[in-house]
Amino acid sequence: MTKPTEKSRGTNRRYCFSAAVLAIVFCVSVPSYAQQAQIDSLVTQIAGALKKAHAKKVVVLDFSGPGLEVTQLGRNLADQFSEALAESRSKFVVADRTQFLQALSAAKPPMVASSDLNPGPVMKLVRADTEVLGHLETDGNNISLAIEVGRVKNGKTVGKFTGEFPQSTETESQSAAVLRKIDYPGGGAIGYTVPTCIRCPNPQYPEAAFHARVQGTIVLSVVIETDGRAYDITVQKHLRPDLDSSAVKAIEAYIFRPAIGPNGKPAAVRMLFEINFRLY
């Protein structure tokens, strides 16, 4: 009854008449070329995995990180990956990121970014069967990128890929431009497992709703904390008050084995749950 449910290449530059100035331009340019080379390599691998999985429509979400944030760097990298995949001459179609990001900003409530930590809003806007998720972390002078490609419907992983490129003044500036702060990672986001339900009894079917033969699905947004209990429960899709209340009470009583985070320790995550009320 219950189931846990973003190219700068070969840019023309003016000739420099000073050897010193020329050296400076060269040094500044190195990280972006290294970054592009890493992107090209990863895109080739990802396109191969998508082809093997017979993907039909692919959506690239804003890359999250560092930490639980979506930054301009993650947005720009996702744009580059999406553009490169679209130019890979593969049979799959790549969703127009500009289009769905505009739709997100026009939504109620509006959203300025989407990521692997909260892909739900985008999935309502694009009919993609496969998603490309990315997460960034900084380590000294380098940026590490973890990418996961998965099926939208069943969550099956198509492939996992990693890359690393040098940190630069430009990427530092982009990382500092936070587009969206996220309170909790999503269960199953890159680096996080999904909580396992240990005791999850079915919700009570309210008598009035039962006799009125009301059926349907309620969607709840829930934070599963490190103690295995549900907190911050909000109804995302309503049915009727008594059924909504019954669904919330059921989730409050659930006990989970908490998710595990990137550090190998229990972590609080946000999940979507569907509570189905059906008469058979």
pLDDT band at 33 (very low <50, low <70, confident <90, very high): low
- Between 210 and 9, the more confident residue is 210
Dihedral of the alpha carbons of 140, 78, 181, 174, in degrees to the nearest 10: 50
pTM: 0.74
Cα dihedral 170→176→178→183 (10° resolution): 140
Bigger pLDDT: 199 or 22?
199
Does residue 28 have a pLDDT over 50? no
Evaluate if residue 227 carries a pLDDT over 90.
yes
DSSP 245-262: HHHHHHHHH-EEE-EE-T
* Residue 204 in this model has a pLDDT that exceeds 60: yes
Of 106 and 118, the structure prediction assigns the larger pLDDT to 106
Q: How confident is the model at residue 136 (pLDDT cuts 50, 70, 90)?
A: very high
Rounded to an integer, what distance in angstroms lies between the CA atom of residue 69 and that of residue 183? 9
> For 157-161, which contacts have Cβ atoms below 8 Å and span 24 or more sequence positions?
158/49, 158/50, 158/53, 158/55, 158/130, 159/45, 159/46, 159/49, 159/53, 161/42, 161/45, 161/46, 161/49
| Domains of the chain by start residue, with CATH | 16-181 (3.40.50.10610), 196-277 (3.30.2420.10)
Least confident of 36-50, 64-78, 111-125, 204-218: 111-125
User: 150-199, pLDDT tens digit by residue?
Assistant: 998 878 899 999 999 888 888 899 999 999 888 899 998 998 999 999 99
Q: What is the mean pLDDT of the chain?
A: 84
Q: Report how far apart, in Å, the C-alpha atoms of 1 and of each of 202, 217, 256, 269, 274 are.
A: 7, 10, 16, 21, 8
What pLDDT score was predicted for residue 2? Answer: 54
Percent of the chain with pLDDT strictly greater than 90 = 57
Is the per-residue pLDDT at 109 higher than 90?
A: no
- pLDDT category, 10, cuts 50, 70, 90? very low
- Position 112, amino acid: V
Higher pLDDT, 279 or 82: 82
